[in-house]
Structure 1
Amino acid sequence: MKTYSTGELAKACKVSVRTVQYYDKEGIVVPSQLSVGGRRIYSEDDFKKFHCVCLYKSLGFSLEDIKKIMETEDTYDLLLEVIMKQQEKISDEIHTLEKTKEKLNMVKEEIDNTGTLRLESLDEMEALLDKKRKHRKTDIMTYIFMGCYVLILFVGFPITVSVGGIYPFVMLIIAITLLLGLIFYHSGVNAYICPSCHEKFPIGFFKDMFTLNGGSKGKYLKCSHCGHRGWMKESFPE
């Protein structure tokens, strides 16, 4: 039967010699034999156990949990329990990281849009995040309105034209009403940031209807604060 020294086991499992020694010290994988000189000698079974430990470690299990798994007879029951605990822990970490990423994106966007960072406390950051989340919901409503408008215009209207009668006029009235409602809603839930003075300002229904929209660039507007004229990015009202 093949045996392994500490160095051979470390090399085969791609870990350091210190790791092998530490797992022995903690009683996780203890060598089956000791040489006359007191050196560790690991058997094939020890080698398989060490591979399992490396697998569990790569899954993020704590050494305490790994030791329990290696010592218990109901290995798979305990393993399932540890896996579920680890999944829950990872889910919490992902949620925390996503919130941190959201905050970083918001800070970056604030600096990009205003040229400065006006946030002075965690409470202000949370309040601004809440506003941004609500604004994203209004964006979804805008897309729903737009989808309905496009559906009516390019599907409903041609169908009613083929039917004839008063139906095309009814469908046209519905499309116009929906478009006006979309513009009214859009003008009420959005504001624009001036790239010159970095101040936000809202616009009215008619200005929203007749000013040029540049997609991701925003709208071509005149700032109500400094008079600068140019592309203003869309944002949420103060």
Structure 2
Amino acid sequence: MIIMYTSGEIAKLCNLTIRTVQYYDKIDLIKPTNIVENRRYYSDEQLQIFQLVCLYKNLGLSLKEIKKLLQTKEPALLLRELLIKKKNELDDQINDMNRKNKKINILLSEIENDSTMPVLSDKDLNDLMIKKDYFNSKGKLTNLFLIGYVLMLFVSILLSSLIAREWFILVLVINVGFLLFLVYFHAINSAYVCPYCHHKFTISWIKDLFSFNNGKKGKYLKCPSCKQKAWMKETYRD
């Protein structure tokens, strides 16, 4: 027995309005199987398509994109492409919301400290946001790195004075290994802020080892978000 659904039943099962079901018919998104006395009837297979459309809509896909998905011969490939595009859009929106949240926190901090109306431009807020990230965390990372480096030198001097020359290579290997550990530790605890789009990102420890660090300027890197190359301020990884 073939199960058929009216527009009202489809609307109820998919949490849609009857007008929406009718609109999908009008734009040739999902056509009814039969129309009897001006009443639309849909099959069980079409119910599943309605449910898919609802899912794609909730993920943020447009009706135009969904229509392409339903018509293409390779829906999986197109869906992957659309989802990657949507994910990138959402990542940009999240980064933008995080930047706005930081700006709000900075303004609140300025008001609480000064009790007056802050007179700041958007550029001033951007500069304050980068400096706040940079100075709140840079000291911690630098101190940890310096302490580790001094400890490594101390151990090297101590071992060199206690062992014979033939053990020098072993001591050297230990020192190099310890130095690589410090670089790795630094990389997994640090992040960088782009001066153009203010995107916060991380890099691998190998890239951290071979990328040039110019003190207060930070590291010269390529932002994965806006693709600009610049001196990226260093901050603490979340």
Pairwise CA distance, 1:11: 0.8
What is the deviation of 1:150?
8.4
Aligned positions of 1:34-45 closer than 5 A: 34-35=35-36, 37-45=37-45
Q: CA deviation at 1:129?
A: 2.8
Alignment of 1:47-126 (within 5 A): 47-119=47-119, 124-126=121-123
Which runs of 5 or more residues in structure 1 are unaligned? 160-238
Q: How big is each residue's C-alpha offset from its partner over 1:20-43, in whole Å with a ceiling of 9 and x where there is no partner?
A: 1121112111111101x1111011
For residues 65-120 of structure 1, what are the alpha-carbon distances to aligned partners after superposition, in whole Å with 9 as ceiling and x for unaligned?
00111111221121111111111211221122122222222222222221122225
| Pair 9,142 (structure 1): closer, same or farther in 2 beyond 3 Å | same
> Match for residue 140 of structure 2?
143
Question: What displacement does 1:140 show?
Answer: 1.7
Q: Which amino acid aligns with 2:124?
A: A
User: Which secondary structure state, in structure 2, belongs to the residue aligned with residue 4 of structure 1?
Assistant: strand
Q: What is the distance in 1 between the residues matched to 2:83 and 2:145?
A: 46
How far the C-alpha of 1:139 sits from its partner, in A, is 2.3
The offset of 1:136, in angstroms, is 2.7
Q: Specify the code of the residue in structure 1 equivalent to 2:34.
A: Q
Query: In the TM superposition, what is the alpha-carbon distance from 1:131 to its structure 2 partner?
Result: 3.0
CA distance in 1, matches of 2:80, 2:58: 16
Distance (Å, rounded) in 1 between the aligned partners of 2:136 and 2:97: 24
State the SS of the aligned residue for 1:116.
Answer: coil
* TM-score computed with the length of structure 1 as normaliser: 0.57
**Kept in 2: contact 1:106–1:129 (CA 8 A):** no
Take 1:74 and 1:56, find their aligned partners in 2: how far apart are those partners? Answer: 16
Contact 1:107/1:117, CA 8 A, preserved across alignment: no
Cα deviation for residue 56 of structure 1 reads 0.6
Contact 2:102-2:129 within 8 A present in 1 as well: no
> For 1:80 and 1:74, how far apart are their aligned partners in 2?
10
Structure showing greater Rg: 1
8 Å CA contact 1:3–1:43 kept in 2: the answer is yes
Aligned residues: CA RMSD? 2.8
Aligned to 1:222: none
Cα deviation for residue 146 of structure 1 reads 5.3
Q: Secondary structure at the match of 1:51?
A: helix
| Residue correspondences, number | 158
**Counterpart amino acid of 2:90?**
I
